[in-house]
Amino acid sequence: MTAAQAVTAMAHLLGVAAAIAALELAWVRRALADDGVFAWPVLRRELARAPRPLRALADLVSSGRGIPLVIALQLAAALTVPWLDHPAPAWIVVATTLAIAFRFRGSYNGGSDAMLLIVATCVALARSAPGTAVERAALAYAAAQLVLSYVVAGVAKLSDPAWRRGTALPVLVALPQYRVPARARTALAHPLLARLAGWSVLGFECGVPLALLQPRACPVVLAAGAAFHLGNALVLGATSMVYRAVQWNSAAGAWTRGLLTRRPVRLATVALANKMARIAWALMTRKEIYRATGHAAAASAATA
């Protein structure tokens, strides 16, 4: 893979991440209104002693009317950055991410927003100076930050006796917000399996630097990381969709409701995640767009 191809791949992933971040904020936009939970008139009091031009700029981008425009601009840039080989969309993602971080006095989604800012900056720099040392430095910095994000987490876990004994992972999967299937929780209740699973996590996170040191290990590390994160994203997304299946007016909604009558919720969630993955793969390989079917197809699917 050439440097230009690597930048293009990063730009595609950046577009997905920035779009998700913008849509998340758009979903809670009511809380960002001037009378919402994150009311700007309250937060702006911290700028009472700031220069007047800075206060005016902050009001422009952070007020109840300004922040939706910032979110919309980030979404537009996210949809553009994969397809337009120009640094402007990436720089817009950088600017809007910083504006949103200023609005929240820090990142809204923690580490994911920090990594979004890093990748957006690297893509913007690489596209601003293609084929130069700046492009190579930007790629190297993004790779180093990616590796460190795993290694730091792995070293932190390795220093915890609970992870080394294998007792930390069962506690995590037992938390209700993760909605881990009962069979997985039961399996991890076995001390040997729990220790093997825990050391697998430690081995992967601490072994990520092999992707930089050994070319043959790079595809394996990337595939494992992608499978883990994509699997989590699909299952979490499917979980939300399963609990809204009653209001989901499409053939897929009817299929999900029918499955819920025959299988437990968690199994239906995993089945829906698998179906979503196959649909996404088919759309990408066939270069098609998703066309949801409505009332007629939903009715026929429900009776099938």
**6 falls within a domain:** yes
Single out the residue in 103, 128, 153 at which a domain terminates: 128
The total number of structural domains that make up the chain: 2
**23 falls within a domain:** yes
Mark whether 2 and 103 lie in a shared domain. Answer: yes
Mark whether 237 and 118 lie in a shared domain. Answer: no
Residue length of the chain? 304
Radius of gyration of the chain (CA): 22
Mark whether 3 and 106 lie in a shared domain. Answer: yes
At 47, is the secondary structure helix, strand, or coil?
Answer: helix
Instruction: At 302, list the tokens.
Output: 């429900």
Alpha helices in the chain (DSSP H): 3-27, 40-43, 52-62, 66-80, 87-103, 111-128, 133-158, 161-165, 168-173, 182-188, 191-207, 210-213, 217-242, 251-260, 265-286, 295-303
**117 falls within a domain:** yes
Q: Where are the beta strands (DSSP E) in 114-247?
A: none
CB atoms within 10 A of CB 81: 30
**257 falls within a domain:** yes
Mark whether 2 and 121 lie in a shared domain. Answer: yes
DSSP 125-147: HHHHSTTSHHHHHHHHHHHHHHH
Single out the residue in 128, 153, 169 at which a domain terminates: 128
**Per residue of the chain (304 residues), what is the pLDDT tens digit?**
788 888 999 999 999 999 989 998 888 888 888 887 777 888 778 777 888 888 888 888 888 888 889 999 999 999 999 998 899 999 999 999 998 888 887 777 777 888 899 999 999 999 999 989 999 999 999 988 888 888 998 899 889 898 888 888 888 877 776 666 677 778 778 888 888 988 988 888 888 888 777 778 778 887 887 777 777 777 777 777 777 777 777 777 777 788 788 877 777 777 878 888 888 788 778 777 777 665 544 444 444 4
Single out the residue in 85, 112, 128 at which a domain terminates: 128
Q: Give 265: exposed, middle or buried? Use CB within 10 Å, 0-12, 13-18, 19+.
A: middle
**272 falls within a domain:** yes
Mark whether 121 and 218 lie in a shared domain. Answer: no
**258 falls within a domain:** yes
**145 falls within a domain:** no
Side chain identity, residue 235: V
pTM, two decimal places = 0.73
Domain span at 108: 1-128
**76 falls within a domain:** yes
Compute the distance between CA of residue 92 and CA of residue 84 in angstroms, rounded to an integer. 13
